[in-house]
Every structure is written in structure tokens, then in C-alpha cells.
Amino acid sequence: MEELNDTQSEIDDRGIDINWVGVSSFKFPVNVQDKASFQPTISEFSLAVDLSKDQRGTHMSRFIEVLNEHGNCISVKNISILNRHLLEKLKAQKSRVNSRFSYFVEKKAPETGLKGPIDYLVNIESILDGERFESEITVNVPVTTLCPCSKAISNRGAHNQRGNVKFSVRSSDPIWIEDLISLVESSASSELYSVLKRPDEKVVTERAYDNPVFVEDLVRNVALKANEMSNINWYKVEAENFESIHNHNAYAVIVKELK
């Protein structure tokens, strides 16, 4: 085979380090570990390493090679192995892995018990800097919120809307995705379902009416529950209500370092 020039390995004389270089928006089939077993999904990966000032370029194909060699099982427990393999393959000091995928939970309607899947967007980002490893998991959870003010001042009903909670945590031990989702859903006026018959709609509507929350209440409810979890070191909770009687949304954020 003809020997080809390795241009990426040429020396660069501009004297500038690159913080992160790699590949992004690479879709790859994976099996995500849940409490029961594994579920197949498609993840969009971003993989990166640092690049020293004297190296002109990195070897982009090696990122995909590492992902292929890692296999298609992704979990909070094993993603550090992928970080380590990137360091070794790319001869780097730091590596970053970002995996973004849809995660499905089968839920029963509250009255009829009919089953249907709900999808949640999940993002896992991990950074390995030498021997220091840090990972952050984010769940995007759609919920229902009912306005306490509207309920207090109206003779009939109260306006409600769908909202979204973006809950990010860093922890000392792996945390199940399902547990983070449940924590958020229990903090809202009501959780969402994919299949609802009329008896179910009645239950969900009345549940929301009995549990009104402002967007401020929602983030504080999540924060209180997060504060009680001993293995969470840091969290960020962002809530946005897609207001049904305004042409703007309501928004609130809490960020807290616990350890």
C-alpha cells in the first residue's frame, strides 16, 4: 500500500493550544441501561480531546474507532471507560464525551391503567482531565402546571399549561435516569401521559387543580428533593412554563453546590 502523508501530525508553530477538538453530531445506536434491563435508542455523540500547541491537527477517524470499539452499551457507570480510551487513542491529556438520546418510560394511565410510552430527552456529559473524572446528567421532563393565582381569583377553573423542567446533576454515585424523572414529575401539578381515556383525563385534570404551582414553586419543589439526596454534589434546575393565556413564557432557575 502506498505510504501517504500524515498532515495532521505536522508541527504547528503558532503556539496556541486548542481546548477541545473532535467530532460532533455523530449518531450511533446504543443500548441505555435502565433499572429493568437495557433499552435500544439512537444517541447523538460529541467526542473531543485537547490539542497541544505544537500539533497541527487531531485524527478525526480515531474518535469513531474508539466509539465502535467501546460497543453500544451506554450508562453513567461505564462512560468513563470511553473517556479513558479517547485519552489513550488520541494521546491527549483531557477528553470530553457528550451523549444525547431519547429515553422511554412506559406509564400507566391513572384510572384505566392503559399503557403508553413517554419519551424524555437525556444528556450525559463526562470529562476526564488526567485522573480527575466528572460527569453530569441532564433530564428534560415535560409536566403540567396550574396557576395558583388563576385558581384563587377565578369563579370557574384556572389556566394550566404544559411546562418543561431541565434538571442537571453531578453526583458521587450513579443515579438512575428514572429516579431523576420521578423526582421532577412529583414536583409539578401533574405528570404527563401518552394514553388517556376520559376517566383518566378527569383524574389528571383534578389532580392538577388540587396541586397548583407557579414556576417558582416548581423549581423550589425540585430543589428541596435534590437537597435530600446524599449522593448529589451539584444540581441545576430550570423550569419553563409555556403560558396558555400569555404570549410569553415563565422561567425560573436554581443552581446549587452541595459538596
- Mean pLDDT in residue range 228-251: 94
What is the average pLDDT value for the chain, to the nearest integer?
A: 92
Which triple of cell numbers denotes residue 215?
414556576
At 65, which amino acid appears?
E
Whether the Cβ atoms of residue 200 and residue 133 lie closer than 8 Å to each other: no
| Domains assigned to the chain | 11-257 (3.10.270.10)
Residue 5: band (very low, low, confident or very high) from pLDDT cuts 50, 70, 90: low
- The model scores a pTM over 0.85: yes
Residue 237: band (very low, low, confident or very high) from pLDDT cuts 50, 70, 90: very high
3-class secondary-structure state, position 48: strand
Residue holding cell 435500544? Answer: 40
pLDDT digits (tens, 9 = 90+) for 136-157: 999 999 999 999 999 999 999 8
Phi, psi of 54 (to 5 degrees): -95, 0
Bridge-partner residues for 251, per DSSP? 240
Using N-to-C axis directions, what is the helix angle for 60-70 and 79-90, rounded to 10°?
A: 140
pLDDT digits (tens, 9 = 90+) for 11-66: 778 889 999 999 999 999 999 988 878 889 999 999 999 999 888 888 899 999 99
